[in-house]
Structure 1
């Protein structure tokens, strides 16, 4: 069961309301690792305008997009064949059937080594100048919302409000605008090929604004199921860092995006995907029992993130 969690009574409700919401969050993250978040106050018009601007870029000829091409983890265009997410869980597959424009944290810390790896400047497509203002606005909202969700997660564990946000004073994050072209553009998928292959995310939480479709998001509990959809809600799932932080009390939400459907060859979708992480140098230590279930050896958050980003990158 993936519930819809309304942030309005979480912000303004009485202790009983807040306790009920925290308990629902704990149950959901223990099973599927996913939530739907309503009452988030992220303007739907802003999301639509980002999609409209990004679509103009993605529909440009490949020659116009190629100068922006980057490898996974870079800032710019991830074209067809750039990544295969199933490699993150050790499963070879054909490349994912998508294109992305990828952004990431860029405000420097003052540490040249850290900044050179994790806080490089973003790149903006000159062909769509309005995208910069729209995305900058959206990213501010995502950062604030992500910290609010982390405080909710801390309450669900019975911890202090800053259990996680004490580690997000200067965090890394990633933001992908994922474009899933229609089957009439991609052609017949190869065996085992998806818009995004099965995987878990790598960070603390992911905040997703998605479109519904036949070739859309599926989540795995004991079997694959279509993810519930609410156009007014954002989809939130936890990643590997959070799962290990909670000692596997919560599941890193395994998911995939289905191939472009044969029964709707013109269907194209676009997702706005915000990956929240933590401060570089954070040592992730599993919460002890009775909260945690498994005691992992402490590990460096960003060493883990780099390993996973390298795993899904295709260099061919």
Structure 2
């Protein structure tokens, strides 16, 4: 049963412009939200609505193609491309997620040093020749949402009591992954353990999500274990803490279980962006001022952690093993 409790709504006005009072106000609100539940909405985030609308329209067009057409850009070892229905199973889930998604990352040429070095998940994206408009629409969204992610992390840093630019040099070559996600309607008689996305936490630092007006995203309230509806709010992004930021904060910030159940009776679309660090960036609570004797986690390379979680949840990774 879901709850009618609402997640915090935080105004990012003035943050990109560097207004100190606006940054402080947003930082205090975000710190409280991250400590209490790990989820919140942001508005006035700087991503133009025209860019969002174009990307969402492209998502609807792309997923409407037959599977045999979409298979031309089937997911590859770099985690780029189309993931078919049933291709992802969250940990402890009994059934695969009832969704499709198309994933892109940082566009890197085959001769880029990270690609030549064999760094996992790196390389060029897969773009469908049968839909040339997708590349520009989703690339524009990718760039704009990255700007919003960078703004957000400046505010997060202030909320943590560290230098505003702490995260900047950890994002020189980010493992940002942006995914268009399609959820077919779930029939009313669907079994209780069938989810659009089964309960899970996100792997990385922060996630920024744009969702249509279908509803279905739910967040588990800490302590009570009640499920809270993340009801769509026009113009907003839903933001949540990932596992790596929770580790970094020594669990002051919460990486919270969430799920999607599409009971709207129609198709649901969203665009999720996992705004994550450079592959080799080290996540260590001691970097945020935690006494080594009180640190709950050893240092970990961001990319290694994310790759392990992808390997554990994606069916195509198991087939390649």
**TM-score greater than 0.5 by the shorter chain:** yes
2:26 aligned with 1:21: yes
* 1:79 corresponds to which of 56, 63, 84: 84
Relative to structure 1, the CA distance from residue 28 to residue 51 in structure 2 (aligned partners, 3 Å threshold; closer, same or farther) is same
1:312 is matched with which residue? 313
Residue 198 (1) aligns with residue 203 (2) = no
C-alpha RMSD of matched pairs (Å) = 2.4
Distance in 2 (alpha carbons) for counterparts of 1:116 and 1:285: 21
Q: 1:171 aligns with which of 171, 174, 177?
A: 174
- The 5 A counterparts of 1:29-44 are 29-44=34-49
2:127 counterpart residue number? 124
Quick check: 1:136 aligned with 2:151?
no
The equivalent of 1:284 in structure 2 is 283
Report how many residues are paired: 305
Give the superposition deviation at 1:134: 1.0
Query: Take 1:237 and 1:168, find their aligned partners in 2: how far apart are those partners?
Result: 18
Partner of 1:239: 242
Q: Structure 2: how far apart are the matches of 1:126 and 1:147?
A: 31
Which sections of structure 2, spanning at least 5 residues, go unmatched? 1-5
Give, in whole Å, the separation in 1 of the partners of 2:301 and 2:119.
18
Which of the numbers 246, 253, 256 marks the counterpart of 2:256?
A: 253
SS of residue paired to 2:315: coil
Which region of structure 1 is more displaced relative to structure 2, 128-137 or 243-252? 128-137
Mapped partners of 1:225, 1:53: distance in 2 = 29
Change (3 A) 1:122 1:255: same
Matched position secondary structure for 2:51? helix
> Which TM-score applies when normalising by structure 2?
0.87
Distance 1:31 1:66 in 2: 42
TM-score (norm: length of structure 1)? 0.88
Mapped to 2, the partners of 1:114 and 1:59 lie a distance apart of 37
Larger displacement relative to structure 2 (108-117 or 169-178): 108-117
SS at match of 1:279: coil
* Superposition deviation, residue 226 in structure 1: 0.3
Aligned structure 1 segments of 4 or more residues deviating by more than 6 angstroms: none
What is aligned with 1:221?
A: 221
Distance in 2 of aligned mates of 1:273 and 1:133: 17
Contact 2:38–2:255 under 8 Å retained in 1:
yes
